[in-house]
Chain A
Amino acid sequence: MKDLKAKIAELKKKFNSVSARVKDEKSLQEVRNTYLSRKRGELNLLFEEMNALKPEKKSQAGQMINSLKSYIQERLEKLKKEIAVKERPVRKIDLTLPGEKGYCGAPHPVVLFQQEIEEIFLSMGFSIEEGPEVETDYYNFEALNFPPHHPARDDWDTLYITDDLLLRTHTSPVQIRAMEKRKPPIRIIVPGRVYRRETSDPTHLPMFYQVEGLVVDEGITFANLKGTLERFIKTLFYEKIKIRFRPSFFPFTEPSAEVDIECIVCGGEDEKCRICGGSGWKEILGSGMVDPQVLKNVNIDPEKYSGFAFGLGVDRTAMFAYQIPDMRYFYENDLRFIRQFALK
Chain B
Amino acid sequence: MRISLDWLKDYVKIDRDLSALISKLDMIGLLVEDWEERDSDVILEIETYANRPDTLGHLGIAREIAAVLGLNLKEQNWPLIEIEQETSDLIDVQIWDENLCARYCGIIVKNLKVGPSPDWLKKRIEAMGLNPINNVVDVTNYVLFSTAQPIHAFDLDKIAGNKIIVRKAGESKTLRSLEDKNIALSPEMLVIADEEKPVALAGVIGGEESAVFEKTQNIFIESAYFDPVSVRKTSKLTGIFTDASYRFERGADISFPPQGALMAASLLTQMGGEATKEIVDVFPKPRKNKTVILRHKRIFELIGLEIDEKFTYRTLSRLGFQVEIQQEGTWQVLVPHFRIDVEREADLIEEITRFYGYDKIPATFPPLRELEPSLDKNRKRVNKLRQLLFSLGFDEVLNFSFSDPEEEASFKTKRKPIEIRNPVSSKASILRTTLITGLLENILWNRNRGAEGIHIFEVGNIYFWEKESSREQARIALATTGLIGSTQWQKKSKETDFFHMKGTLESLMSDLRYEPFSFQEKDHAFFEKGHSLALLFKEEIVGYFGLLKKNLLDSYSLDDAVWAAELNLSMLFGKKPQSFQHVPVDRFPSITRDVSFIVNRSITYQEIKEVIERLSIPHLKTFDLYDRFSGASIPEDKVSLSLRFVYRNPQKTLLAEEVDSLQQKIINVLKKEFNFQLREGGTEVPSKVRSKKK
Q: Which residues of A contact B (CB under 8 A)?
A: 97-98, 100-101, 103-108, 110-111, 115, 125, 127-129, 132-134, 149-152, 154-155, 159-162, 165, 167, 182, 185-188, 193, 195, 197-199, 206-207, 215, 217, 219-224, 226-228, 230-231, 244-249, 251, 254-258, 277, 289, 291-293, 306, 330-336, 338-339, 342
Contacts and interface: CB of A to CB of B under 8 A. Distances in A.
B41 to A, nearest CB: 20
B491 A100 contact: yes
A228 B490 contact: no
B400 A331 contact: yes
B365 A228 contact: yes
Chain A contact residues: helix, strand, loop or mixed: mixed
Nearest to B358: A245
A5 B422 CA distance: 114
Across the A-B interface, give the 9 residue pairs with the lowest CB-CB distance, nearest first.
A247-B29, A223-B304, A221-B304, A255-B350, A249-B49, A152-B50, A224-B366, A245-B358, A127-B374
Nearest to A159: B420
Contacts of B369: 185, 217
Contacts, number: 231
Nearest to A331: B400
B418 A246 contact: no
B366 A246 contact: no
Contact of B359 (A100, A215, A244, A339): A244
B151 interface: no
Nearest to B352: A255
Nearest to A130: B376
Given A103-B486, A306-B301, A334 B364 contact: no
Interface of B: 26-29, 31, 34, 49-52, 228-229, 232-233, 249-250, 301-305, 344-347, 349-350, 353-354, 358-359, 361-372, 374, 376, 379, 383, 386, 389-402, 418-424, 428, 431, 442, 445-446, 449, 451, 454-456, 461, 463, 470, 472, 485-486, 488-491
Nearest to A158: B422
17 contacts: A105-B390, A105-B396, A129-B374, A134-B431, A151-B250, A162-B421, A221-B301, A221-B304, A226-B362, A228-B366, A244-B26, A246-B27, A246-B31, A249-B52, A292-B346, A293-B344, A331-B399
Contact of A133 (B365, B379, B463): B463
A186 B371 contact: yes
A341 to B, nearest CB: 9
A111 B398 contact: yes
A187 B371 contact: yes
B420 A167 contact: yes
A98 B422 CA distance: 56
Contacts of B394: 105
Contact of B392 (A105, A110, A247, A291): A105
Contacts of A226: 358, 361-364
Nearest to B423: A159
Given A125-B371, A159-B423, A306-B301, 11 more contacts: A149-B229, A152-B51, A159-B421, A187-B371, A198-B424, A207-B401, A227-B365, A228-B366, A246-B29, A247-B28, A333-B446
Contacts of A293: 344
A137 to B, nearest CB: 13
A107 B389 CA distance: 10
